[in-house]
Structure 1
Amino acid sequence: MKPSPRWLILLSLALAACDLAAPALPTLVPTLSPAPATPTAMRSPTSPAPVEPSATPPPSETPPTPAAAQFIAYVRDRQLLVTDVTGGRAGGTTQYTLAGVDDQVLSLTWSPSGEFIAFVSLASGEPRLFVVYAVGAGTPVDLGPGLGPAWSPDSTRLVFERDGNLWLTPIDAPAPAQLTFQIDWAWGQAAFTPDGSAVIVAENARANLGASGNTFFTLKRLALDGSGALTPLPGSPELAGVRLPMNLRFAPDGRKLAFSTSYHYNACGAPGAHYIGDANGNNLSELVSPSLAALADPQNEVFLSAYDLAWSPASDAILAAGYVRNCKDFSGDIVGGPQLSILGLDGTERLIVPGAFSAPSYDRTGNWFAAVRYPGLQSPDGNVQIYSAQTGELVLDLGPGNSPQLQP
């Protein structure tokens, strides 16, 4: 059976709104072995009058300084919202999308500068990529078909997937250029190298993917010169029997990379793990929650499921979501977690927050983290919440939503 297109997989995850028990989610991994579209009209929360769109801040706008304000972006009712959460209080909220034009938001990602948001919309029936200045009166600019955007470190370019290949565009004067020229190919989430000179990605031919996405991959470096050259990272081992990682991220200091992957075992479970390695792919190893690992027993089909993650601003820990499920005789019982853990790179578990979480992110100081919290693993709807990264206490509940990301 031919695997579903990546955007359909992402859409199913968004519509399920974190049915964390579903086997399609990342969850103990086998051993290591052409021209831009015309921008849309501007929308303002205070005035519907259309004006000339722009992805850059209007000259009259004075954006808040990073020290003065903290924003969070998220999706509610398929619309992109940004709320001021400075001081742990909910301030003003701006909706940047318009129903039927650029809503039906599937995913979003802040630029490293904390000024722009790239997001994928299904309003037209296909994934389209937009970028918007999101700390003022910005207007979404349509970059054309695309999904899986990743920002360059200087916040001036985006790499994304289109028509089964990777493309690159600047955002000040969008001009998408094709980087790869594969046929019937599957891609994991791409990430720029810390110096912005190349992109790191996992990939494989769709013919090598099983019906549930199980395959093999090596992390590779993609040149940005349009040659399509993909070179395996010198220290990266091959991982076999697993899915392509959809959350590859470099640490803020650029010295490490992290991702999670999983494999389809049966209808009960999709065991998975978080991986940490050097930026060149060396020393790749699992980083496991000690409290969950103590409850897992793979030989008896009691599996650890590890999925979403986020780097701490200090690059010394990750936020890691996971749980342990008993799949012996398809019982499906949860015997550990679900929980969100702060895992130090030294293997220590600094904090455990019980609950079913997805889409974690840190604020720029490392004092807070945000995530969607669900009433249970099978719950289709959750709330966007902010927590103390020191105590795990709830700081702010913004109500229903998904895909939250604190402004870097």
Structure 2
Amino acid sequence: MDTSESTAEEREPGPEAPRRRRWAMDTRPLRRPAYRRLWSSTIVTAVGSQLTAVAVPKQIYDITGSSAWVGAAGLAGLVPLIVFALWGGAIADAMDRRKLLLITNSGIAVTSLLFWLQAFAGLESVTALMLLLAVQQAFWGLNAPARNASIARLVPEDELPAANALGSTVMQTGQVAGPLLAGALIPVIGLPELYLIDALALCVTVWAVYRLPSLPPLAGTAVRRAGVKEIAAGFRYISGHTVLLLSFLADIIAMVLGMPRALFPQLASQTYAPYGEGLALGLLFAAIPVGAVLGGLLSGTFSRARRHGRLVIGAVVAWGVAITGFGLSRNLWVAVAFLALAGVADMVSMVFRGAILLSAATDEMRGRMQGVFTVVVAGGPRLADVLHGTAGSAFGPRTAVVGGGLLVVAVMLVLAAAVPALRRYRV
């Protein structure tokens, strides 16, 4: 797609631009018709996917009455996600990414339809639910690297942070609105229809992807195969490009050491019990996504920055400071405010880590880089659940949260000082 039609004045507001444009959401990528189609479809599916994300554990719990089975379902989805995200990254570098998106989005839609059929028929089989979940996550693992890697072909390099902010804001909004909508709809229309709504929403995505331009490998860079050798080549590429490796490590540091969501139920029932356990739990889980949405709405304040590496470092440190403040807070509303600040920091980190992956990697490697990115984003918080759950049981939840936040700050600063490649990186 030719992006040369945009003038310098369109890309960068001059002194006469309204002040609001300097801090409000940076919408420059929406001027690109292909990106606008891809982004618009995300608005629908961001909510629809969350309906299924609520419906599956709810149905499993209704059948078994056991939270252990709900947890097992999470593991059933994680393993195929990791395997197929890595493989999907290699496939995305070997074939037309638009065609891969059409195949995988159609597969996800069919899976959602099968979820609806089993629920409508009253099958009540946990095995069937887990198998469908595994297939759905496998398709999603194949889809995500191709979708993310395509962005660099749809917008110019200087608009990558803005494009990432737009996409992340929509996804975070879906994480807030989707569960709330599911909770409101289940008593009215029932559980099976949530799956059907998701399947219909995915049809919008398939149509939007169909209207994208062809996205084959660039001339002279085509990867002929998508096997273990090509996946291993992706990891070698990361090890040979320090800034890419550091961008992954930054997210691992923030999420594994500093994501305290496993302790939210205990904190809600103990530290914040006077405010009402249900209210406290809901606010704690919603606070980080709400902060991320706020950060996206204010993306004009940072999306034009060029020192991407320093912003990643600063955002991870800010995340650690905010998590530490959350752990020290006994007032629920102060705690929620700190978590919201952490959400803003996470949005900034996500935006610039994504931009680094798309700009620092060559096109024939972008799919594999996004495959690893998907695994890190999906796996980090789950490792954090284990780490924080264990630490919370041993030392108490507030001590575990504060300790994790301080570790994030210390480890990130030491890493930035010891290996200067990330702090020196700029577009």
The TM-score normalised by the length of structure 1 is 0.24
Select the structure that is richer in strand: 1
The structure, 1 or 2, with the larger RCO (C-alpha pairs under 8 Å, 6+ apart) is 2
The TM-score normalised by the length of structure 2 is 0.23
Larger Rg: 2
Select the structure that is richer in helix: 2
